[in-house]
Amino acid sequence: MKPSKSWAFLYHAILKNKTVYTILIAICIIGFWLFENFYTGKDNPYGAQDAESRLIRNDFLPELIEDRMVRHKHYVLSYSETHEQAEWVAYALKQEHLTHDDRRRPYFIEDPLVTSRSADWRNYKGSGYDRGHLCPAGDRRFSEFAYNETFYTSNIAPQRKDFNAGVWNRLEQQVRQWCKTYGTIYVVTGGILEADLPGIGYEDVTVPEHFFKVVVREENDKVFAMAFLLPHKESQEPLKNFVVSIDFLESQSDLDFFHQMGKDEQNHLEASSRLKEWEF
Distance CA 256, CA 263 (A): 13
Distance CA 168, CA 87 (A): 17
The residue segments making up the domain with residue 187 are: 58-277
For residue 209, pLDDT beyond 60: yes
> 110: which DSSP letter?
-
Question: For 107-131, what is each residue's pLDDT tens digit?
Answer: 999 999 999 999 999 999 999 999 9
Q: Is position 189 within any domain?
A: yes
Q: Are residues 136 and 18 in the same domain?
A: no
Q: How far is C-alpha 174 from the chain's CA centre?
A: 20
Q: Is position 47 within any domain?
A: no
Output the pLDDT for position 224: 93
Q: Are residues 27 and 71 in the same domain?
A: no
pTM exceeds cut of 0.85: no
The top-scoring range by mean pLDDT among 74-78, 217-221, 257-261 is: 74-78
Output the pLDDT for position 71: 92
Q: Give the pLDDT mean for 208-214.
A: 98
Q: Is position 217 within any domain?
A: yes
Q: Is position 152 within any domain?
A: yes
Output the pLDDT for position 17: 65
Q: Are residues 99 and 183 in the same domain?
A: yes
First to last CA, the chain: 95
Q: Are residues 20 and 145 in the same domain?
A: no
Q: Is position 220 within any domain?
A: yes
What is the CATH number for 237? 3.40.570.10
Distance CA 255, CA 80 (A): 13
How many of the other CB atoms lie within 10 Å of CB of 102? 6
Residues 6+ apart with CB under 8 A from 49: 73, 145
Q: Is position 48 within any domain?
A: no
Catalytic residue check, 133: yes
From the candidates 133, 210, 259, 268, which is the catalytic residue? 133
Q: Are residues 159 and 31 in the same domain?
A: no
Question: For 19-73, what is each residue's pLDDT tens digit?
Answer: 655 655 656 555 544 444 434 444 555 544 544 444 677 778 898 888 899 999 9
Phi, psi of 68 (to 5 degrees): -100, -10
The SS3 call for residue 269 is: helix
Q: Are strands 222-231 and 243-244 parallel, antiparallel or unpaired?
A: antiparallel
Phi, psi of 257 (to 5 degrees): -85, 150
Q: Are residues 168 and 203 in the same domain?
A: yes
Domain tally, the chain: 2
Q: Are residues 139 and 6 in the same domain?
A: no
The H or E element that residue 218 is part of is strand 210-219
Q: Are residues 272 and 156 in the same domain?
A: yes
Q: Is position 44 within any domain?
A: no
Q: Are residues 181 and 244 in the same domain?
A: yes
Q: Are residues 14 and 78 in the same domain?
A: no
Q: Is position 176 within any domain?
A: yes
> 56: which DSSP letter?
P
Output the pLDDT for position 33: 46
Phi, psi of 204 (to 5 degrees): 60, 55
Q: Are residues 21 and 129 in the same domain?
A: no
Q: Are residues 210 and 268 in the same domain?
A: yes
